[in-house]
A and B are shown apart, each in its own frame.
Chain A
Amino acid sequence: MSDERDLLIARVRETLRADPAAAPEPRAVAQVLQAVWQSPRPSLWQRAVEAWRGAAVTPARATGLAAVALLLGFVTRGVVVEPAAPAVAARPAGSSAFPAQRVADVADGLVQTQFVYDGKAESVSLVGDFNDWQGGVTPLDRLETGVWTVTVPLPPGRHVYAFLIDGTLVVADPRAPKSGDADYGQEGSVVMVFAR
């Protein structure tokens, strides 16, 4: 067998042995030792493992922490979405051909961004990373022409969104590029928000 002497395999070997990605953190050993010294004795450990493996074990402490986490996370990300952003007038009617989103009016670092859906529906709302994908929070208004629209203030950057039709059906914006992120087997659309 030539694998042992194969230069290509030798190079793979050397690459992996010297892999910088596998270099330990400076305090890694100390952390491991701390974990070792603090770990419970075997019988207890076994129980801990079983408890951890068991389904739906939710320590009350975790729930408390989570509540704080949620609040903090919301504040730190700094995303504020007003339903139907009242101060901003929608684009004129009769505009089924206008782009998927239009960007204008910068205020407080947020950029007013308009979304348009042109299709049959009883109700349409905007869902995306900026409103925690909550249906119904950001409804689109129906214009006389039958086109649905809403304008929301968004922080500059790349946002992934979709439309929620009649409260149940999630559809990507047909006029915008797809996000390429298919965590749930369904891509969203992308808007790049920035102050022009």
Chain B
Amino acid sequence: MDGAVPGDAAWRGPSTAGHTPRTVLNDHTPASSSIDPALPLRAKAGDRQAFAQMVDLLYPRSLRFALHMVGNREDAEEAVQDTFVRVYHNLSRFRDDARFEPWLFRILANRCRSLMEKRRRHAAVVQYGDVPERGNAPIEVAERDWTEEIHRILATLPAEQREAFLLRHVEDMAYEDIAAVTGVGLSALRMRVKRACDVLRARLTEVMQHER
């Protein structure tokens, strides 16, 4: 796939004729909102305010990751809440010199895996939450279809590929951190991410060609 950068037509994606691609991205959840390293230490020392601040900062990313992992909002919210409860009660085990986010995502990824295991039979029906409305109808449908298509393809990926892809490309984590989260070696992780990208690229290109 080296050098295979889609041309303009491909970039427009399934949004079809008349739809201007979004150039300004409405990125409401930053890729990596690194928290002040002092916060977990203060929380560990019993400062509730510090813990609340951490939840506030990390909740959106956590929910986004969980939603894209498990595919439905209720499970995602459950996983995230559960994760923060566990984090809180295990703060004493958090090493002072460690970085907090990989630790959090490790617990979160585990929660998502358990939930997915529990819900495996429902994997075929992927329900995402509410998407706010904007613009007029045709654009909305096209834009939504594109997002839905990505959701759909994500849901078909093996969980370990989805996890690696989301951590690398959406959460913007370094491979070393992903290794800490997943407990998997670097080369295997790279392979997982690459496979996920290959599938996404192939399926989305297919969709775009079909649309045109």
Chain A contacts to B: CB under 8 angstroms: 1-3, 5-9, 11-24, 28-29, 31-33, 35-37, 39, 41-42, 45
Query: How far is B3's CA from A2's CA once the two chains are assembled, in angstroms?
Result: 6
Decide: A39 and B150 in contact? CB cutoff 8 A: no
When C-beta atoms are compared, the residue in chain A nearest to B82 turns out to be A35
Query: How far is B143's CA from A19's CA once the two chains are assembled, in angstroms?
Result: 11
Q: Hey, which chain B residues are within 8 Å of A19, CB to CB?
A: 64, 67-68, 147
- Known: A1-B190, A1-B194, A18-B27; 6 extra A-B contacts, CB below 8 A, are A3-B193, A11-B11, A12-B150, A16-B68, A39-B85, A39-B89
Give the interface residue-count category, chain B: 35 or more
Decide: A16 and B166 in contact? CB cutoff 8 A: yes
CB<8 Å pairs between A and B, sample of 29: A1-B2, A2-B5, A6-B4, A6-B6, A7-B5, A7-B11, A8-B200, A12-B169, A12-B200, A13-B170, A16-B68, A16-B169, A17-B64, A18-B26, A18-B27, A18-B29, A19-B64, A21-B128, A22-B63, A22-B76, A22-B129, A28-B59, A28-B77, A29-B52, A32-B55, A32-B59, A35-B81, A36-B85, A45-B89
A-facing residues in B6-56 (Cβ within 8 Å)? 6, 10-11, 13, 22, 25-31, 48, 51-52, 55-56
Q: Hey, which chain A residues are within 8 Å of B13, CB to CB?
A: 11
Does B131 count as interface, using CB distance less than 8 angstroms?
Answer: yes
Chain B contacts to A: CB under 8 angstroms: 1-6, 10-11, 13, 22, 25-31, 48, 51-52, 55-56, 59-60, 63-64, 67-68, 73, 76-77, 80-81, 84-85, 88-90, 128-132, 146-147, 150-151, 154, 166, 169-170, 190, 193-194, 197, 200-201, 204-205
Decide: B130 and A21 in contact? CB cutoff 8 A: yes
- In the complex, which of the residues A14, A23, A39 has the most CB atoms of chain B within 10 Å of its own CB atom? A23
Tell me the number of A-to-B contacts counted with CB atoms below 8 Å.
Answer: 132
Q: A8-B6, A32-B81 are in contact. Are A22 and B169 (CB under 8 A)?
A: no
Query: How far is B84's CA from A13's CA once the two chains are assembled, in angstroms?
Result: 25
Decide: B170 and A16 in contact? CB cutoff 8 A: yes
Closest 4 CB pairs of A and B: A22-B64, A21-B128, A3-B197, A21-B129
Decide: B90 and A42 in contact? CB cutoff 8 A: yes
Query: How far is B6's CA from A37's CA once the two chains are assembled, in angstroms?
Result: 50
